[in-house]
Amino acid sequence: MRTTRRALLLLAVLPALALVARADEPPAAPAPPPGGRMYDPRFREGTPSDVLVAGDTPLLRGTVDAFVDLIEARHDVTLTATEEQTVRDGLETAWPKMDDDERRWFDRQAAALARIRPAPGAAYDAAAAKPWLDAFATDLDARVSKASSHAWEGAVRRAVDRKSVAFSAAPDPSVSVAAQDAFEELVVFFVGLARNADAAPTEGQRIAVRPSVRRAMDASGPVVRRHYARMGRLWALVKARWDACDDAGKLRMRWAALRLFRRVAKLPVPEGTVVLDLPGYATMAAEVAAALNAPDAYTSAFANLGETIGAVVDGLGLDAKDLEPAFAVERLSLRR
């Protein structure tokens, strides 16, 4: 089966990319030896026209992409990496066994999404999209409510259930388990950028940080809680931007993560207007990795919630002093 999220380490000579930085960003360090490793995850692969399952009515990658996007938009939930992969693999497995009517239903959903998704630069029309999303939800609910053996249907049910269960129930607004799950995946990604290494925490490590995170959320005011409640949107924005941006955009996100964790590790963050490059990033990320193992970095990110969120938003090129645009993003405006 094809993977949708390869948290791979690319072995290559680091290119001579550079980015002019703000005054609080570190200067380029000496270049590492050729063959340095670069953490470069990919959340969505290929092109919409890729044929995943051949036949008279082939399954295209774009059809699966559209189905995932519609689920997330209609339920305002971000599938976990495991859930999304289960949906994708499940559709590929089930496609040859579907009848023509069922295959055409999936194709119609992809066509509907193309109509309601805004063009580049255009505003999202929520009122126009609502009837399509409601019709999709009605049909989808009928499918996943059945006692079916299809793994992808179970993954959708679990995602919707996670959205309905509170992680931090009060005060209003409630923060769902799905929002916390998205936050955890976002932090794993950001830790990977800071350390230039792919090292996911164990389930035990995730569980260990949750009580303190819940206490912090419980003590937060309504504005901050609204941001926590929409953490899935921020994570969806980060994934979409990362996949779409050029190397300079990725370098900006890498440096945002690096600055945060260098401060946490009490490593120097030199000041001054500088030119940033990938070799400098890789060298200084190696220093972070030596000072902070992955579990400690993961824990420290949740011990500094505000700083972590601000660094993510800054890495997106948005104003870290105004978080609302990053959390209010419309899901269907993210990928085209």
Reported as a single tens digit per residue, the pLDDT across 89-125 is 999 999 999 999 999 999 999 999 999 998 888 888 9
Distance CA 150, CA 134 (A): 23
Question: Where residue 328 falls among pLDDT bands split at 50, 70, 90?
Answer: very high
pLDDT confidence of residue 121: 80
157 membership: H or E segment, kind and range: helix 151-164
**Residue 186 DSSP SS3:** helix
Let me know if residue 83 belongs to a domain: yes
pLDDT confidence of residue 320: 93
pLDDT tens across 78-97, in order? Answer: 999 999 999 999 999 999 99
- Whether omega for the bond prior to residue 171 falls within 30 degrees of 0, making it cis, is yes
Are residues 133 and 172 located together in one domain of the fold?
no
pLDDT confidence of residue 256: 94
**Residue 81 DSSP SS3:** helix
| CA 260-300-172 angle, 5° bins | 100
Are residues 304 and 229 located together in one domain of the fold?
yes
Give me the amino acid identity at 11: L
pLDDT confidence of residue 181: 97
- Confidence check: pLDDT of 161 > 50: yes
pLDDT tens across 293-318, in order? Answer: 999 999 999 999 999 999 999 999 99
Are residues 37 and 63 located together in one domain of the fold?
no
Let me know if residue 3 belongs to a domain: no
Q: Residue 268, exposed/middle/buried by CB under 10 A (0-12, 13-18, 19+)?
A: exposed
Let me know if residue 2 belongs to a domain: no
Distance CA 106, CA 91 (A): 10
Provide the percentage of residues in the chain whose pLDDT is more than 70.
86
Are residues 94 and 131 located together in one domain of the fold?
yes
Instruction: Kindly tell me the sign of the dihedral angle through the C-alpha atoms of 300, 301, 303, 306.
Output: positive
Number of domains in the chain: 2
Compute the average pLDDT of residues 231-256.
Answer: 95
- Confidence check: pLDDT of 10 > 60: no
Domain carrying residue 94 = 51-164
Query: Which has the higher per-residue pLDDT, 60 or 275?
Result: 60
Are residues 309 and 179 located together in one domain of the fold?
yes
Are residues 199 and 326 located together in one domain of the fold?
yes
Are residues 173 and 210 located together in one domain of the fold?
yes
Question: Tokens representing 300?
Answer: 């420290």
Q: Which residue, 112, 146, 164, sits at the end of a domain?
A: 164
